[in-house]
Chain A
Amino acid sequence: MSTNAIEVTGLTKIYNNHFKAVDNVSFAVREGEFYGFLGPNGAGKSTTMRVLATLLTPTAGTITIAGYALGKQDDQIRRAIGFAMQGVTLDDMASAWENLMLIGTLYGLPKAEAKQRGSELLQLLNLEKVADSWVKNYSGGMKRRLDLAAVLMHHPRILFLDEPTEGLDPAARRVIWDYLRQLNARGTTMFLTTHFMQEADELCGRISIIDHGKIIVTDSPASLKAKVGGSLDDAFIHYTGHGIRDEDINLKAADPYVRS
């Protein structure tokens, strides 16, 4: 078994035969590492994550997740990973409990274990009092916490986090950060994308900055800051420029279901 949780070699993703969202990217994430994957809007972060999470097919490249080959052992990869996607992906006309039980079952947890795990997560994320209420009545922070609970139901070894605290107030953000730190301390490998540089600075041991589909730099937050003599915000701007990016470089590419 590799000591790398994620190994990516020459990953390329081209949408619609012309828009190259990710261009020959290679990197590795060690087991138990908290790895940040930063970049401006449209840089290729979410596409990379969706490829690694088996939701998109790469155009080229070799990828190994948790020791399993992407494209050949996708079910094993799905069992090994959790993916907190951008935005909340829950059934909001169902209760928290119903959401968790369904997800637990789909990941093959026996009924008793799913119930135990569900109760544990609801308690841990302070949602047990609203467990039977429909999710549509929850606040943004509650939804985000429940989304995280759903992602964690099957004890994933690797967690992909796509802007996990977007839209949350500082207190709710802290709760999520603390929990992510705890998970990481227990050995869960973290792959984080975020636009909050403070979040990346607080959580990540190593950061890659991607722009125009290519990784520009990889280093620790402290080294990145030292290199530019400023904050991580400064480092980010230093490597990616001041210009505001259009996310709609290719609107079709933003559609995760678009045919390639």
Chain B
Amino acid sequence: MSELRKIGYLFVRGFKQCIRPYAALMPEFVMPLFFFIVNSAAFQRAVQIPGFENTTYLQFYAPVALLTAIFISSGSTGIEVVTDISTGYMDRLFLAPIKRWYIVLAKLAAVGLKSALLTGLMMVLFLFFGASFEGGALGVVTVLLFAFVFAMGWAGVGLSLAFFTKNPRLVQSAFIFFFPFSFITTSQLPLNLLDGWYKTAVQLNPVTYILEGMRSVLLTGQLGATVGIGLLVALAFAVVTLSVSTYAFRKSVVRK
């Protein structure tokens, strides 16, 4: 119980660290919303292209905007951790009689929660812009689960860089990975309308399956194979990045 309380306090601290200063949350709202409004307006006639399923572009694009929210909200984790390292705060935590993996676990759970909350809030906002989500409460919970798991996975990329380099600028540069992972997907067009090397790249990108899973539950309300595959890929992505970050943590940060 005492150990759970320690993890709980670290989790609360990690969550507060994620949301402070509050003004810094603004871009995390604005950017996905901006993409959602601009792209759904700019490409609204794209759904007339044969091959598009029976939907509006706004509906088609909503999960992409949600995914962007997840990317952005979890993308600052590395910076937060490298700040803890460079200010010596990580040492303060290391001096406590706790298992050191508590620190990482609590931080990741906090990031997952933050992204899930942001995703939920975005979904509410999108309703005001005319989006509708199939699947009811179970569908919403599924999307939040996607957000929680993928946020932890994406945070793992920043964490790995933070632990390996301990350099804020290098960690910040991890943002560049957002572009291929986010854009080389079915974010603009469905897979059947893509072709050539681009289609192959899209199929190789794990985020494509996560996006398709979210899109499937939001557009159809069905928790079918696409959703299951999406969740599995999100989980696998998290396992890989968190394994790397755990390795980096043990190799580079824990006392030597």
Contacts and interface: CB of A to CB of B under 8 A. Distances in A.
Contacts of B94: 54-55
A102 interface: yes
B16 A257 contact: no
Contacts of B2: 108
A76 B96 CA distance: 10
B175 interface: no
A121 B2 CA distance: 23
Nearest to A111: B5
B97 A257 contact: no
B245 to A, nearest CB: 15
A255 B166 CA distance: 10
A128 B100 CA distance: 31
A105 B6 contact: yes
A168 to B, nearest CB: 17
Interface in A67-94: 75-76, 78-79, 81, 83, 85-94
Contacts, number: 83
Contact of A256 (B87, B91, B96, B97): B91
Interface residues of B, number: 28
A91 B97 contact: no
A86 B96 CA distance: 17
A48 to B, nearest CB: 14
A244 interface: no
Nearest to B86: A257
B176 interface: no
Interface string A132-160: 00100000000000000010000000000
A92 B80 CA distance: 12
B9 interface: yes
Interface string B1-27: 010011001100100110011000000
Contacts of B93: 106
B85 interface: yes
A147 to B, nearest CB: 9
A86 to B, nearest CB: 8
Contacts of B96: 78, 103, 106-107
Contact of A57 (B17, B252, B256): B256
Given A79-B97, A107-B96, A89 B256 contact: no
A93 B17 contact: yes
A96 B166 CA distance: 26
A75 B92 contact: no
Contacts of A255: 166
Interface of B: 2, 5-6, 9-10, 13, 16-17, 20-21, 85, 87-89, 91-98, 166, 251-253, 255-256
Interface of A: 53-57, 75-76, 78-79, 81, 83, 85-94, 98, 101-103, 105-108, 134, 150, 255-260
Given A257-B256, A258-B256, 15 more contacts: A56-B256, A76-B97, A85-B91, A86-B88, A89-B88, A89-B89, A89-B91, A91-B89, A92-B87, A102-B9, A105-B9, A106-B6, A106-B97, A106-B98, A108-B6
